[in-house]
Amino acid sequence: MRLLIDTSGVQFRVCGAAKPRPDFKDKDRQATTRDGEPIWTVRLDAIEPDRETKETIWVEVAGEQPRPITCVTAEA
């Protein structure tokens, strides 16, 4: 299922290196998509400047290992 989420006015900041997501059945292996792409877990800070709030969320991305980043902010 895909949900439409309004992220206008929210800034996202990557704060941490991507980590391999463990496979559901075999925790010693990295999870992959149906196409065989590895899945990575990345920590983001979701910041709402107007409300002066911040929440940490974890997202999963598939493909090549994301490059290490030091806290980069992106506006949605």
- Convert the pLDDT of each residue in 21-40 to its tens digit: 999 899 889 999 999 999 99
Class of residue 18 by CB neighbours under 10 A (exposed 0-12, middle 13-18, buried 19+):
buried
Mean pLDDT computed over every residue of the chain: 87
pLDDT digits (tens, 9 = 90+) for 49-66: 888 999 999 999 999 988
Q: Give the Cα separation of 18 and 41 in Å (integer).
A: 6
pTM: 0.72
